[in-house]
A and B are shown apart, each in its own frame.
Chain A
Amino acid sequence: MRLALIILAYTPFLYPLPIWDYWPWLLIPLTAGVAIVYKSVKCQSMKQVPREALVIFVWILVGMVAAAGALAGVVHLVVER
């Protein structure tokens, strides 16, 4: 009921998007944007861009997940003990 009321009251671009619990997923569109523009600038031919952008997109995500895992491990093992 509360979620339905939030959605009904929501005005795009005026109110923040009601996705407080899903914020880690917002990494994906930003990574895709960075990968596409970066590879469009770097590649000599635009035909190479889709494949190259997909590769770097996956690498950025893997790097981010690894960094998040490592930092979570440091917090769990060092800070919380």
Chain B
Amino acid sequence: MSTRASDNVINSSPPVIALAGWALPGLGYWLIGQRGRAITCGITIILVFLAGILIAGVRVVQAPDMSASGNPFQRILQRPWFIGQVLTGPIGITTAMISEKLAASPTYRAIESKARLAEIGTLYTAVAGMLNLLTIIDASHRAARIAR
């Protein structure tokens, strides 16, 4: 009664798998029929990201100010850790939007972690994104092998 992994394949186009993996951690594996790997990686990456904002507060995720003048590359390099954070997908982007709203609010503007807790929270959220990049690459590679 056991089902083969290939029976569960929904899509095996590597770019679609990569995009799905970025949109929701673990979804890429799910689409190629590797449900166990999808759930394990997805839940772990989301938990690591949530642990980061639990440790340092939501304002630890800060997008670069793209409205400022100057070279866009330099503006991104002002907050290079956001490159890692945004790799968690819409979760990272939504968190950055909430963080920006709080930064503009007179009530919550002053609430921001400093020193070690800020560093640790940044590390957690950026590592979650880097781990998601790892799963995106692996899921796309596996999808390419299925497609062949």
- Report which A residues bind B (CB closer than 8 A): 12-17, 19-20, 23, 26, 29-30, 33-34, 36-38, 40-41, 46, 49
If the complex has contacts A20-B116, A20-B117, are A13 and B131 also in contact, measured as CB distance less than 8 A? no
- Report which B residues bind A (CB closer than 8 A): 36-37, 40-41, 44-45, 47-48, 51, 53-58, 102, 108, 111, 113, 116-118, 120-121, 123-124, 127-128, 131, 134-135, 138
Q: List residues of chain B with CB within 8 A of the CB of A19.
A: 55, 117
Q: Is the CB of A13 within 8 A of B57?
A: yes
Q: Is the CB of B51 within 8 A of A29?
A: yes
If the complex has contacts A20-B116, A20-B117, A33-B48, are A13 and B54 also in contact, measured as CB distance less than 8 A? yes
Query: Helix, strand, loop or mixed for chain B's interface?
Result: helix
Q: Is the CB of A15 within 8 A of B127?
A: no
Identify the closest chain A residue to B47 (Cβ).
A33
Q: List residues of chain B with CB within 8 A of the CB of A33.
A: 44-45, 47-48, 51, 127-128, 131
CB proximity of B9 to chain A, nearest CB, Å: 17
Q: Is the CB of B58 within 8 A of A16?
A: no
Q: List residues of chain B with CB within 8 A of the CB of A34.
A: 127, 131
Identify the closest chain B residue to A17 (Cβ).
B55
If the complex has contacts A37-B135, A46-B37, are A17 and B117 also in contact, measured as CB distance less than 8 A? yes
